[in-house]
Amino acid sequence: MSGAMTERHMLGEDEAAPLAGLAARVRALTEAAVLTGVGADEARAVADEIAALTERLRAVRRDAPPFLVTDGHRMDRQGGNPVTGVLNPIAPPVDLDVTADGIVRAEFTLSDVYEGPPSYVHGGMSAMVLDQALGMAAAQTGVGGMTATLELRYRRPTPLGVPLTVEAKASRVEGRKIYASGTIAGPDGRVTVEATAMFVTPQHFLVHER
Ligand SMILES: CCCCCCCC(=O)SCCNC(=O)CCNC(=O)[C@H](O)C(C)(C)COP(=O)(O)OP(=O)(O)OC[C@H]1O[C@@H](n2cnc3c(N)ncnc32)[C@H](O)[C@@H]1OP(=O)(O)O
């Protein structure tokens, strides 16, 4: 089971680097699988080889994704995060940075793996990137919290395969509620998606993590 309370193995740089390399290869494999034009026999043969490789990785299995040893902000440690995690092949990954004034920002590119409407980014993927960025912005105010509400306005289609920018900032804190907003913009700087969210700090965060 993968739960918040599960004890996590901590990966040092020496252990993390080859696993990040593995994730990068699987990410490339995923894109190749989505775009391949090989015939049925070749697809079956490759599938068998991948099944064998999967069994090799399963030979030693952890109970939950490991954390990275880091002196950066807290989310840095979640190498398995589906948006930012270098250890997770389904993460683009989006390398979110935090400026001194609490703005969370990244440039990233989404491949055809994330296609929703033909030639554009899937709206759920934009939501996931924004949830993560706004969540990190909320965390800059103190403890951070769980997403309670996330409202999105899809202003225009988000293009695939070109540099996008995500930006987020917390706007205010009211007790355990933290409000944040953010955007995704295309290479021309025009905003494609706007988001506002409210995060609620669960009581157990306050007890265990302060
Ligand atoms: C660095 C981190 C980056 C992380 C980015 C990714 C973030 C995520 O994706 S988190 C995953 C998605 N979210 C979830 O699964 C959350 C599931 N929900 C929960 O766990 C709980 O409902 C939680 C924590 C939001 C609130 O629970 P709890 O602490 O018991 O809240 P509760 O005491 O009932 O309410 C506190 C206040 O918040 C309000 N509130 C709680 N939930 C909501 C909601 N969904 N909508 C509106 N208001 C809400 C309550 O009305 C109450 O307000 P007031 O104090 O004014 O009466």
Residue 32: DSSP 8-state: H
Q: Which residue's CA is the nearest one to ligand 1's atom 12?
A: 147
Q: What is the mean pLDDT of residues 119-137?
A: 98
pLDDT band at 3 (very low <50, low <70, confident <90, very high): very low
pLDDT at 205: 78
Tell me which of 73 and 90 has the higher pLDDT.
90
Q: Does residue 76 contact residue 67 with C-beta atoms inside 8 Å? A: no
- The phi, psi pair for 148, rounded to 5°, reads -95, -40
Whether 76 has a pLDDT exceeding 70, the answer reads yes
User: Which atom of ligand 1 sits closest to the CA of residue 146?
Assistant: 10
Q: How far is the CA of 199 from the centre of ligand 1 (A)?
A: 6
Amino acid at 48: D
| DSSP code string of 160-181 | SSS-EEEEEEEEEEETTEEEEE
Q: What is the pLDDT of residues 29-73, one digit of tens each?
A: 999 999 999 999 999 999 999 999 999 999 999 999 999 998 765
User: Which atom of ligand 1 sits closest to the CA of residue 132?
Assistant: 5
What is the spatial distance between Cα 123 and Cα 131, in angstroms, rounded to a whole number? Answer: 12
Environment class of 30 (CB within 10 Å of its CB; exposed 0-12, middle 13-18, buried 19+): middle
All structural domains of the chain: 1-91 (no CATH), 94-209 (3.10.129.10)
Rg (CA), the chain: 19
Ligand 1: lining residues by beta carbon, under 6 Å: 75, 131-132, 135-136, 139, 144, 146-149, 176-177, 200, 202-203
Q: Does residue 137 contact residue 103 with C-beta atoms inside 8 Å? A: yes
- The mean of the pLDDT values for the chain is 94
Question: Which pTM value belongs to this model?
Answer: 0.95
Q: What is the ipTM of this complex?
A: 0.97
Pocket test for ligand 1, best of 200, 203, 204 (most atoms within 8 A of CB): 200
User: Which atom of ligand 1 sits closest to the CA of residue 175?
Assistant: 55
Q: Of 192, 200, 141, 140, which is closest to residue 163 (Cα–Cα)? A: 192
Q: How many residues does the chain have?
A: 210
